[in-house]
Amino acid sequence: MTSSPNPAPEQTLICLQGIRKSFLSDELETRALDEVSLEIRRGEFVAVSGPSGCGKSSLLAILGLLDSPSAGHYWLNGQAVEQLDNRARALLRNRQIGFVFQAFNLIADLTVQDNVALPLSYRPELSRAERRERVAEVLAQVDMAHRARHLPAQLSGGQQQRVAIARALVGQPSLILADEPTGNLDSRNAELVMDLLQKVHGQGATLCMVTHDPRYAALAQRTVALFDGRLVADMPSAALYPRPLSSPVPASSAHAAAAKLAMPEAL
Ligand SMILES: Nc1ncnc2c1ncn2[C@@H]1O[C@H](COP(=O)(O)OP(=O)(O)O)[C@@H](O)[C@H]1O
Ligand SMILES: [Mg+2]
């Protein structure tokens, strides 16, 4: 059904209703997402947690219009996504959404500045000078201006992720989707990356971030948890992680929080 009225009130950026995602391989059906309904308000910072294979990346791929649900409805910014053709989806993705991945996903034979400029190549309304200016601005923002002409392989993991964040930001998207952005980084670089993401959120972007790290989930306003494709918890992060942000979460309490998230009773 594509003619549903938009149920989203003004402050809602994302509205999912009954989202299902199935993968078929060798006649085996994997249900990656099962009846997921979720609203995310404009400007919110939401952490997505849950054990490996529970559907977190599948959820982000659908939120980011990289993949389509098998069933259910998705309204982004009041627009019913299933009514859009491929071109309109690509345009919306390019204008509204920035992605950050665990594995950075930079293009190996493009320089840092050319990687960052990529999302702007679909913006014919921007002049060459405007593109250059935007690239320089975001590279300065992530403190990577001095590496503009390097290739990704010449950078550390932390530097590559900062470049990937610059690429996500260059189009000035309203929604940032980050899938385990600190997963491949040491704690110092992870903190730098989290500082950047928090800054972007502070400037008004909506941030939805998959993370296994309770220290970083604690920075979000809200944590939603998936288990076997189902949304099993949706609560203020402060209720799950009641410690000050600066102090590390001891392993025992991290495990308790993870166990709490994994259990359907957490509802
Ligand atoms: N392209 C795919 N083809 C088949 N199965 C997939 C595909 N992508 C994900 N899955 C399966 O869907 C489930 C959820 O995967 P995923 O969303 O990647 O989980 P997570 O990000 O939480 O680790 C897993 O069982 C995974 O094996
Ligand atoms: Mg994943």
Kindly give the distance from the C-alpha atom of residue 77 to the centroid of ligand 2, in angstroms, as a whole number: 25
Q: Which of 86, 101, 87 is nearest to 168 (CA)?
A: 101
Please count the other Cβ atoms lying within 10 Å of the Cβ belonging to residue 22. Answer: 15
- Give the number of whichever ligand sits closest to the CA of residue 26: 1
* Residue 69 CA from chain centroid, whole number: 17
Tokens linked to 77: 């910014």
Q: In the predicted model, what is the mean pLDDT of residues 210-214?
A: 92
Q: Which residue minimizes the CA distance to atom 25 of ligand 1? A: 53
Q: In angstroms, what is the span from residue 69 Cα to ligand 1's centroid?
A: 13
pLDDT category at 122 given cuts 50, 70, 90 is: confident
pLDDT at residue 152 above 90?
A: yes
| Angstrom distances, CA of residue 45 to CA of 50, 160, 209 | 17, 23, 8
Of ligand 1's listed atoms, the one at least distance from the Cα of 58 is 17
Q: Is the pTM of this model over 0.75?
A: yes
- Cα 52 from Cα 246, distance rounded (Å): 26
Asked if residue 207 belongs to a domain, the reply is yes
pLDDT at residue 243, rounded to an integer: 63
Quick one: which atom of ligand 1 is closest to the CA of 54?
Answer: 22
**Ligand 1 atom having least distance to the Cα of 52:** 23
Q: Is residue 5 part of a domain?
A: no
Protein residue with least CA distance to atom 5, ligand 1: 23
What pLDDT is recorded for position 104?
93
Pocket of ligand 1 (CB under 6 A): 23, 25, 30, 32, 50, 52-58
- Give the Cα separation of 78 and 260 in Å (integer): 33
> Distance from the CA of 3 to the center of ligand 2, in angstroms?
32
Q: Is residue 3 part of a domain?
A: no
Whether 4 is covered by a domain: the verdict is: no
Instruction: Judge whether 21 lies within some domain.
Output: yes
Element containing residue 252 per DSSP (H, E):
helix 251-262
The CA distance from 217 to 237, in Å, is: 7
Has residue 116 been placed in a domain? yes
What pLDDT is recorded for position 246?
55
> How confident is the model over 85-112, as a mean pLDDT?
95
| Residue 155 belongs to some domain of the structure | yes
Within 13 A of 207's CA, how many CA atoms are on the CB side?
31
C-alpha 212 to ligand 1 mean position (Å): 16
Give a yes or no: residue 16 inside a domain.
yes
Band the pLDDT of 7: cuts 50, 70, 90.
low
The CATH code of the domain that includes 70 is 3.40.50.300
Residue in 19, 22, 23 to alter for ligand 1 test, most ligand atoms within 8 A of Cβ: 23
Instruction: Place 3 in a pLDDT band, splitting at 50, 70 and 90.
Output: very low
**Is the pLDDT assigned to residue 73 strictly greater than 80?**
yes
Per the structure, the count of domains in the chain is: 1
pLDDT at 240: 83
Measure 75 CA to ligand 1 centroid, in angstroms.
23
Backbone angles phi, psi at 107, to 5 degrees: -85, 120
More confident residue, 259 or 69: 69
* 101, β-bridge pairs: 179
Q: Is the confidence at residue 223, as pLDDT, over 50?
A: yes
pLDDT for position 239: 85
10, 63 contact by CB (below 8 A):
no
Tell which atom from ligand 1 comes closest to the C-alpha of 50: 22
**Which residue among 57, 60, 208 is best mutated to probe the pocket of ligand 1, counting the most ligand atoms within 8 A of its Cβ?**
57
Which residues partner with 16 through β-bridges? 38, 74
Residue nearest ligand 1's atom 16 by CA: 55
Segments forming the whole domain that contains residue 92: 12-266
